[in-house]
Amino acid sequence: MKTKRHGAVLGLIAAGALLLTACGSDENTPGAGSTSAAGDSAAVPVECGGKSNLSAEGSSAQKNAIDTFVQAYGQKCAGQNLAYNASGSGAGVKQFNGSQVDFAGSDSPLSESKGEIAAAAERCEGNPAWHLPLVFGPVALGYKLEGVADLTLSGEVAAKIFNGGIKKWNDPAIAALNSGASLPDKEIKVVYRSDESGTTDNFQLYLETASKGAWTQGAGKQFKGGVGEGKEKSAGVAQAAGSVDGAITYVELSFAQDNKLSIAKIDNGSGPVELNEETVGKAIDAAQIKGTGNDLVLDLKSIYGSSTAGAYPLLLATYEIVCSKGYDADTAKAIKAFLTVAATTGQDGLADAGYAPLPKAFQEKLLTAIKAIA
């Protein structure tokens, strides 16, 4: 299991350099982006101190990464700690906007239509919140189906599974993508996130973009497919899918692996694509930053509808949502110290946790934004 995980992670490390090309980074000189941040991260100064006990809440997809960051933070800044509640992206944003935590973790950006951007600005004393992407990872279509270890799905077929248009594993549409496979006459049991989740938002954006009109339910952090059984958090859906033959869910790669789920290939129009280092790298190559200045919002939607051969199209980035200004001096100092550690020495343990360490050039973009927090 760990070998598979490291394969995907290594692909993300290599592909992270390509992300900077797509973003137009001035710092992406030849060879610079291909190096992990871990190599010289210890040289980045960290000004410890300020608030002793920070609090944050949100994305369960990044919980294991945050645990790694907290450990590194405590080693670098003795007596300093962060308490992270992996309650889901939606809950994290609500707690941040309600001034109940110091920052939020979210798998999708703040929503203007829901008033989240305005609420965050109010919470930040009239200043905008920034999105700082610290954790990257692919989303797996994880399933458990006895006798079927190799399965291909398309965006259109996945949409029909998750909105109830396809109910049986031997449906002709699935069979057409899996010539020669012995598919059972078994009911498909959809498992979805019942709590508000950025993973759900990204997954539904993918379905909306890649399904050729089969997904009409829209996107958002609440699952809108109208079928299946809901479970809370990434661990909850992965555990539920892993316990029932015929189940399928959408979940971050590490959770799918931990629960021994099979992972479907995705046919984006150019043939079946396995989730691995090369295919994830090709997908991240298309990512662009659509935020301005130090607000590093990524435009991943362009990936979802791509028909690039060999590109795995289902990815997410997890943001730390922070106030650009508006913290008291002690809180700002501690947040900057924690995020600096997270973006530098904290990256060293991410591969073992199933995530992708930041490439050096993207690390520098994050450090610039972190330094500007006030």
- Residue ranges at the known binding site for phosphate: 59-61, 89, 107, 197-199
Q: What is the DSSP string of 134-147?
A: EEEEEEEEEEE-TT
- Any alpha helices (H) in the chain, and if so which ranges? 2-23, 63-76, 89-97, 116-123, 155-162, 172-177, 198-210, 233-242, 253-258, 277-284, 301-304, 329-343, 350-353, 360-372
Q: What are phi and psi of 202, to 5 degrees?
A: -65, -40
Q: What is the DSSP letter of 187?
A: B
CA distance 106 to 78: 27
Q: Count the Cβ atoms, other than its own, within 10 Å of residue 299.
A: 15
Q: What is the DSSP letter of 51?
A: -
Annotated binding site: 59-61, 89, 107, 197-199
CA distance 143 to 11: 23
- Helix 2-23 crosses helix 360-372 at what angle (to 10 degrees)? 70
If you compute the radius of gyration of the chain from its CA atoms, what whole number of angstroms results? 20
- Specify whether the CB–CB gap between 84 and 61 falls below 8 A: no
CA distance 220 to 193: 12
